Chain A
Amino acid sequence: DTGVSQNPRHKITKRGQNVTFRCDPISEHNRLYWYRQTLGQGPEFLTYFQNEAQLEKSRLLSDRFSAERPKGSFSTLEIQRTEQGDSAMYLCASSPGRGEPNSPLHFGNGTRLTVT
């Protein structure tokens, strides 16, 4: 169990640029989640994959956001035409998806995005 890995750890970009983050879940986990956390707040759900299928998207996920998990392994989250309000910590989590329900999520260290 090598844990959930996210890259990069930090990203600074100018407003209007596109950015892409990567998440590598724990290898045997088939569920993958993206959350966003702003300063002083708890994480907010963005989207969820079961294998390669994106099963749920939050209303927080505007059209400028897109997430993929092409082979049911790693996932990418892309933000197009970034805005200053996109500055946040983007957290990825995974869970087994089999066996007991509502199994705890395993989180990565996150990618901190700063839009200038």
Chain B
Amino acid sequence: AQKVTQAQTEISVVEKEDVTLDCVYETRDTTYYLFWYKQPPSGELVFLIRRNSFDEQNEISGRYSWNFQKSTSSFNFTITASQVVDSAVYFCALSSYTGANSKLTFGKGITLSVRP
């Protein structure tokens, strides 16, 4: 069975601070994908990033960066220079590398509040 744990429930930062959201996952699959989604107050889940399990290179995309460590089953997400518009619930998710089905297992989410 797959499981995603987001131990942090709520984080509050002041604008322009950097913030890291933690994610730990469990899976028996040898290949899999990891995702981060954002859910603003409007309710629509918005895709942010995706990483496959066979590429541990960490990347930066604009203000977003992620740290994937297979040895510790962690997939942490960092927002640099946070902005008020970043306030949302952030979900880490996991899917098997099936090539056919993008069924996701989500964590419980982290509520991020960015204060002006």
- A residues sitting closer than 8 Å to B (CB atoms) are 31, 33, 40-45, 48, 50, 55-56, 89, 91, 93, 95, 97, 101-110, 112
CB distance B108 to A56 under 8 Å? no
The answer for the CA separation of A102 and B33 in the assembled complex, in Å, is 7
Q: Count how many chain B residues have C-beta atoms less than 8 Å from C-beta atoms of the other chain.
A: 28
Chain B residues contacting A104 (CB-CB under 8 Å) are 35, 47, 50, 102
B106 CB-CB contact with A under 8 Å: yes
The answer for the CA separation of A104 and B104 in the assembled complex, in Å, is 10
Chain B residues contacting A42 (CB-CB under 8 Å) are 4, 91, 93, 106-109
Cβ contacts A to B, 19 pairs, < 8 Å: A40-B109, A41-B108, A42-B93, A42-B106, A42-B107, A42-B109, A44-B106, A45-B104, A45-B105, A97-B100, A101-B99, A102-B50, A102-B52, A104-B50, A104-B102, A107-B37, A109-B44, A110-B43, A112-B43
B7 CB-CB contact with A under 8 Å: no
Residue from A33, A42, A93, A112 whose CB has the most chain B CB atoms within 10 Å: A42
| Chain A residue at minimum C-beta to C-beta distance from B34 | A102
CB distance B103 to A56 under 8 Å? yes
Set B33, B42, B44, B101: member contacting A48, Cβ < 8 A:
B101
Q: Mark B13-36, 1 if CB is under 8 A from A, else 0.
A: 000000000000000000001010
B45 CB-CB contact with A under 8 Å: yes
| Chain A residue at minimum C-beta to C-beta distance from B45 | A107
The answer for the CA separation of A31 and B35 in the assembled complex, in Å, is 18
